[in-house]
Structure 1
Amino acid sequence: MRRDTVPAVPVNDRLWLYALLALIATAGFFYVNIMAAIVDGLVTGLGFSNPQAGMVGAANIYGASVGNFIAVLLVRRVAWRQTLFILLSLLLLLDLGSMAISFPGMLTAVRALHGLIGGMAVGVAYSVMARTHSPDRAFGMLLLVQFALGGLGVMFLPTLVPDYGARILFLSLAALTALALVALAMIPRLEPARVADAVTAARLSSTARGTAALVLLALFLFQGGNMALGAFVIRLGEHFELARGFIGQALGWATWIGAAGAGLVIVMGARFGRLRPLLVAILLTLAGTAGFFWSANQPIFFIANVGTAITWSFVVPYLFGMLSRLDSSGRLATLGGFVSKLGLASGPMFAGRVLVNDDFHFLIAVAIVALAVSGMAMLAAARRVDREPDA
């Protein structure tokens, strides 16, 4: 079987192509973007406890981490288009099957399998995106699509669960996977990647390996710190006695406004380097996260969600862009997807354990520490990449 070639997009940045690739990648782990709605839906719709709901979410993402790691080993050996068709088709079946499950243990196992297959699909999609003309912009489009669709999910799904049950959550995931299959069919035959064999085969230098390690550490902590709060943000709002209707509207609008961060990356690319934009972003992230201490105040709760959403969608594309710059074969970006999902899975699992006693203040404090350490690692890496962009 002839292997599909990976797109280099040598003439221009075809944003419509980036959008199609972003939709495909999003389908593999859209549950992350609506994790707050899923966790809340499992608690309110199926009667799961906080730890049980957190474990379902964590299993989904840990499964995706394993799948992403498998993809690291396979991306240069498989035909990406055929592989994505098979994986997305399996995801569709698993999402539909999840609608009929109401037992925590069984649902955890099925979602772990879903994550495994979805992680492989995301890894393959990442390898394609990493070898485009402008990876920063490609991953920026990915975050833009995720946040735009995620805004719809967190705004409307929690209000539908009381009437339709938790099955509406998995039906929405199935619908997105079906759209991803359509998007896959719309992608035209792509031009060969402009990657020299020597560059693709060469091992990273010791400096590049150190820089990559910093980026991966930053990615793990950034995703974990954000998702620890993000997965339980609806419960957090209710803990501070905010109305459920207000929480849903606040999260939906915050997610949509947060997509502006990814939009900035698409517009800016690496034009201003990475150190200065990331410095501003991490400071805003810390300020926004600290704002959750005063969540009883509606405007502060809304502003905290908006600020962290903007920086979340802004920082992640730059981290993946740095990994793509360090390794043009796309494997390092795929590895980044694996580490990213480890962080996304660890956040809800840790948060679920902390919230056995509903100690949201301690959870916020831990999230701030994780994000601060992440910021130090990403700034150190950005400084190296800006100095030696071809490292």
Structure 2
Amino acid sequence: MNPSEPLATHVLDEGRVMPPNQLTMGAVTLIYALSVVLLGLSPIMAGLYADELKLSISEVGWILSIEQAGSVVGALFAFWATPRVRWKSLLIGASVAALLANALTGFMTGFASLAAMRLISGFASNTITLVASCLLARASQPDRAFGAGLLAACVITGLGVWLLNTSRAIWGYQITIGSGALLFVASLLLTLALSRRLGGPGDAGPGLDAQTGVRGAANATSALAGLAGLVLFGISLNIVWGFLERLGLEHGLSNDEVAWALGIGLLGSGLGALAPALIGDAGNRVRMLSITTLLLFVSLGLTWWSSGVMMFTLAVSILAGAWNMGLAYYMAQTSTNDVSGRYTRAIYIAIAASQSIGPGLAAVILDHASLTSVLAVSPLPALLALALVVAVGWRQGKTGRA
């Protein structure tokens, strides 16, 4: 290793890749966190679109879905590009594109132009997320690495909710919506500090053995179950997430109370990220996913019956905490059973697909039913995700496979 090379990832040969050093992992954790913050801010942004641009709630649902469709395309592009293009170059290009798209979003006044900017933002931000997740998967304990990234995202998102609400009152809509660009200014600066040897042509980001750094044994069925679980679990959360602000208003809360509840709730949801960050897979991944699914049901019930700001805050906190736990464990389920890196690179294709499908399903539901009806539909895909992982684990246990 060359200790003078800043934030380097050291590739020893084709079959042996050393995990990134601690400085690299710290920087990548923050880059990952910054790239996913806008998803957490989507309820506030959805409310701003509806209030300032006079869009219907169904149109806002389609805007959210279009943005996540861009994320799907970004994930597909990054899946193709990561073995072919230097990862630092990908991160720089995507950060610049996301920065510009978010800065220009505040100047868009119609549905079509707004959708175009959010499409570009989704594309660029998820390119960043996928590259960063490939690096987090190289950690000796991916459960903990993903948990740490999600915990950092919780803190930034919680602060971001309050800042958006304050900015709206002081500086108005354009600056508030465009402030998302600051996330990608920070991402760009962190990326510039990384080594050019971060990863690139021929480097798909394989899973690593915690002790030796050698690629581990494959279990394609478990990896695919993790990816399918990501899609289904993500659909559950995204059916309802973008409409939390509207649900709070329907329960009689003011805009300030909803912003306070979302901010506190998102900070509190960091407890969900702490579980994988501290426990890793020592608590049994299937057991932790079962707890996660139960928490999802609890949060949706609290949202349904919330009668004040405290209950709504608790509902948001448990819902976002369940998302963090489920995301970390389903991602680790995939990456720890992956040899080639192909399934790991597909993680954010799966997540982006769920983030696009979820709001789209909600928009279809809202064309024919009330807003609270999304709460009844939301938990069903998560139940199917858990059943799939349990079934795969049971079958492999019976056949004696790892």
Fold conserved between structures, TM > 0.5: yes
Does the CA contact (< 8 Å) of 2:20 and 2:139 recur in 1? Answer: no
Does 2:123 match 1:116? yes
Q: Is the 8 A contact 2:88 2:196 kept in 1?
A: no
Please report how far the alpha carbon of residue 390 of structure 1 lies from its aligned counterpart in structure 2 after TM superposition.
9.0
Q: Partners in 1 of 2:313 and 2:381 — Cα distance?
A: 22
Which amino acid is 2:224 matched to? A
Give the superposed CA RMSD.
Answer: 3.1
| Over 6 Å off, 4+ runs | 6-9, 189-194, 199-202, 384-390
Q: Which residue of the partner structure matches residue 355 of structure 2?
A: 344
Which one-letter code corresponds to 2:96 in the other structure? Answer: S
Tell me, in whole angstroms, the C-alpha distance in 1 between the residues paired with 2:290 and 2:268: 20
Following TM superposition, by how much is the alpha carbon of 1:185 offset from its aligned partner in structure 2, in angstroms?
2.6
Question: Following the alignment from structure 1 to structure 2, what is the Cα–Cα distance between the partners of residues 187 and 386?
Answer: 42
Q: Residue 242 of structure 1 contacts residue 298 of structure 1 at CA under 8 Å; is this kept in 2?
A: yes
| Equivalent of residue 334 in structure 2, options 313, 323, 335 | 323
Residues 134 and 46 (structure 1 numbering): CA distance in 2 closer, same or farther, change over 3 Å?
same
Structure 1 distance, partners of 2:225, 2:181, is 36
CA distances 1:125-170 after superposition (whole Å, capped 9, x unpaired): 2222222222212211221121111112233424533553432344
Matched AA of 1:70: F
Amino acid at match of 2:84: R
Residue in 2 that maps onto 1:272: 283
Shift in alpha-carbon separation, 1:134–1:93, aligned structure 2, 3 A: same
Extract unaligned runs of 5+ from structure 2.
Answer: 1-7, 200-204
Deviation at 1:234, TM superposition (A): 0.7
CA distance in 1, matches of 2:91, 2:274: 26
Task: Pick one of 227, 244, 249 that aligns with 1:238.
Answer: 249
Q: Deviations over 1:199-222 (max 9, x none)?
A: 8799x6xxx333233222221121
| Shift in alpha-carbon separation, 1:128–1:105, aligned structure 2, 3 A | same
Instruction: Classify the secondary structure of the residue corresponding to 2:273.
Output: helix
Q: 243-252 or 380-389, which moves further after superposition? A: 380-389
In the TM superposition, what are the counterparts of 1:158-197 in structure 2 within 5 Å? 158-161=165-168, 163-187=170-194
Percentage of matched positions with identical amino acids: 24
Paired with 2:94 and 2:374, the residues of 1 have a C-alpha distance of: 36
1:389 Cα deviation (Å)? 12
* Equivalent AA in structure 2 for residue 293 of structure 1: W
Q: CA deviation at 1:384?
A: 6.9
The whole-number CA distance in structure 2 between the counterparts of 1:191 and 1:109 is 31
Question: How far 1:237 moved relative to its partner?
Answer: 0.8
CA deviations on 1:52-81 (whole Å, 9 max, x unpaired) are 222222111111111101211221222111
**2:134 maps to which of 99, 120, 127:** 127
In 2: Cα distance, 1:298 partner to 1:92 partner = 34
What's 1:19 paired with? Answer: 26
In structure 2, the residue corresponding to 1:131 is in which secondary structure?
coil
Looking at structure 1, the residues matched to 327 and 277 of structure 2 have their Cα atoms a distance apart, in angstroms, of 12
The Cα offsets for residues 250-295 of structure 1, whole Å up to 9 and x where unpaired, read as 1111110101211221111122231222222221221222222202
Residue 149 of structure 1 is matched in structure 2 by 156
* Closer, same or farther: CA 90–262 of 1 in aligned 2, 3 Å: same
Comparing 132-141 with 228-237, greater Cα deviation is found at 132-141
Out of 247, 254, 262, the position equivalent to 1:251 is 262
CA change 1:66–1:191 in 2 (3 A) is closer
Aligned length: 381
Contact 1:289 1:304 in 2 (8 A): yes
Cα distance change on mapping 1:258 and 1:378 into 2, 3 Å: farther
CA contact (8 A) 2:271 2:321 kept: yes
SS of equivalent to 2:83: coil
Q: 1:201/1:310 Cα in 2 relative to 1: closer, same or farther (>3 Å)? A: closer
Q: CA deviation at 1:243?
A: 2.6
Q: Report the AA paired with residue 227 of structure 2.
A: L
Describe the shift of the 1:382–1:286 C-alpha distance in structure 2 as closer, same or farther (beyond 3 A).
Answer: farther
* The one of 303, 306, 319 aligned to 1:292: 303
What's the offset of the Cα at 1:121? 2.4
Q: Which residue of 2 aligns with 1:85?
A: 92
- The runs of 5 or more residues in structure 1 that have no matched partner are none
2:225 is aligned to 214
Q: CA deviation at 1:245?
A: 2.0
2:146 to 123, 139, 143: 139
Q: Give the whole-Å Cα distance in 2 for the aligned partners of 1:11 and 1:112.
A: 33
Which residue among 71, 80, 83 is the counterpart of 1:73?
80
Which residue of the partner structure matches residue 360 of structure 1? 371
2:317 corresponding residue in structure 1? 306
Rate the CA distance shift 1:45–1:23 in 2: closer, same or farther, 3 A. Answer: farther
Counterparts of 2:112 and 2:327, CA distance in 1: 32
- Matched to 2:131, the amino acid is V
From 42, 63, 68, the equivalent of 1:61 is 68
Paired with 1:245 and 1:258, the residues of 2 have a C-alpha distance of: 20
TM-score (norm 2): 0.85
Would the aligned equivalents of 1:71 and 1:124 in 2 still touch at CA under 8 Å?
A: yes
Paired residue for 2:5? none
Q: What amino acid is aligned across from residue 140 of structure 1 in structure 2? A: G
Q: CA 1:11–1:237 in 2, change beyond 3 Å: closer, same or farther?
A: closer
The one-character-per-residue Cα deviations of 1:64-104 (angstroms, maximum 9, x if unpaired) are 11110121122122211122112211221222222221111
Letter aligned with residue 354 of structure 1: I
